[in-house]
Amino acid sequence: MPPALKIVLAEDSVLLREGLVGVLTRFGHEVVAAVGDAESLTAAVRSYAPDLVVTDVRMPPGLTDEGLRAALELRAANASLPVLVLSQYVQRAYAAELLDTGDGTGVGYLLKDRIGQVEQFAETVERVAAGGTVVDPEVVRQLLRRRRDPLAALTPREREVLALVAEGKSNGAIARELVVTEAAVGKHIGNILGKLDLPPAEDTHRRVLAVLAYLRG
């Protein structure tokens, strides 16, 4: 059992807010504040110092991207604060902007559709809280359809691996998903980093850079 997280949740729909509190509680986490607008989110983070912020993109008062803006500001003030943004849209721009904050670790961009897959959702929450980087598979899938440089140099298998890296999966998880050995995954990742011109250095950070290269096109 992973450690219980203190979570601040921002979602303007009462229905979803209650549902999310239910799911997060079910997996043993504590929602210390559940708010309905961007301003209360900022205030709640200040007073509770949570382990993770989960926020909707579209929030009152303007019903545009206030939730995302608030998340970006929170990250700007405290780059190590893990933030998981839930979105109703498959939008590269939101994810890319989010990943640009801090060093790109401890952030996630997830479609709201994923909340229903409660176990995977709980996994994602924990991964982001632990400093992982998660980009929704749907965004990844959409990007895969386009062939762009420098990604054009990647083989189909390498693309697949990169997509799973973007979803925040570990080498072990990727190996299980693709039914190959972990060593093979390691080799693929080495090739990807080489082709994207990311010289060997600190490990996780380079994975994030690869995802970023991928998102920026």
Catalog residues that contact another protein under the rule CB under 8 A. 13, 15-16, 19-20, 22-23, 26, 57-58, 63-65, 68, 88-94, 111-113, 115-119, 121, 142-143, 145-148, 217
Least Å distance, CB 19 to another protein, is 4
Measure the CA–CA gap between 118 and 29, rounded to whole angstroms: 13
Least Å distance, CB 214 to another protein, is 12
Residue with smaller CB distance to another protein, 11 or 158: 11
The set of residues, in sequence order, having a beta carbon less than 8 Å from that of 176 and lying 6+ positions away, is none
Residue with smaller CB distance to another protein, 64 or 155: 64
Residue with smaller CB distance to another protein, 8 or 143: 143
Least Å distance, CB 200 to another protein, is 31
Q: Which strand (E) or helix (H) includes residue 8?
A: strand 6-10
Least Å distance, CB 69 to another protein, is 9
Measure the CA–CA gap between 15 and 18, rounded to whole angstroms: 5
Residue with smaller CB distance to another protein, 95 or 189: 95
Of the candidates 89, 47, 46, 44, the residue with the CA atom closest to the CA atom of residue 68: 89
Using CA atoms, how far residue 182 sits from 162, 168, 192, in Å, is 14, 16, 15
